[in-house]
Amino acid sequence: MVSRIDGKLEPTRRPNKVLLGDQIADLVGSNRESWLYRGRTVIDAGVVLAGSSDLPVADNNLRRGMQAAIDRRTESGYELAPKEAITPEEALRTHTEWAARATGQIDDKGTLERGKLADFAVFTESPLTASKVTDIDVVATIVGGKLTYDSRPGSAKPQVIV
């Protein structure tokens, strides 16, 4: 089916569902688990893959979703359909550039460019090179060019700035 899509469909996936893969794999059976939460197959077919959190049903932690897409590990440590793993760069793009494309917002956000909204997060280390994306912390967030969260020293505590 993916080969017939021909890049015209931009599915939104919820990689954090991989964390629940133990239950899901048991339900679908080992012969079909390779079809669960496909990442590599979709990207290799030229389809723009967008990530999301599925809040309020599931965890909205972007870092957990990215890590699940990268290492495909369930909560028990089982590697669910490892051939569907994607790179850290691809995982980041699913939540930035590719998500903006899928939602028709690429002219305004998704990449850091002059004239676009400045919506981004600052982390303690790069999600592209961290050994585990889930181990990095958010230092600050900027939305529309304005600081909206700041955990840097000098702040009494991490705060949301309105």
* Res. 13: pLDDT tops 90: no
pTM (predicted TM-score): 0.84
* Res. 133: pLDDT tops 60: yes
* Res. 122: pLDDT tops 90: yes
DSSP 9-68: ---EE-GGGGGGHHHHHHHH-TTTGGGTT--HHHHHTT---EE---TTTS---HHHHHHH
Give the per-residue pLDDT at 17.
64
Question: What are the structural domain ranges in the chain?
Answer: 20-150
Q: What are phi and psi of 120, to 5 degrees?
A: -160, 165
* Res. 28: pLDDT tops 90: no
pLDDT tier, 8 (very low <50, low <70, confident <90, very high otherwise): very low
Give the per-residue pLDDT at 158.
53
Give the per-residue pLDDT at 117.
93
Residue with tokens 């009494």: 156
Pairing of strands 12-13, 50-51: parallel
| Mean pLDDT confidence for 7-25 | 64
86-107: pLDDT as tens digits: 999 999 999 999 999 988 999 9
Give the per-residue pLDDT at 97.
95
65-75: pLDDT as tens digits: 899 899 998 88
Coil, strand or helix: which one is 94?
helix
First to last CA, the chain: 46
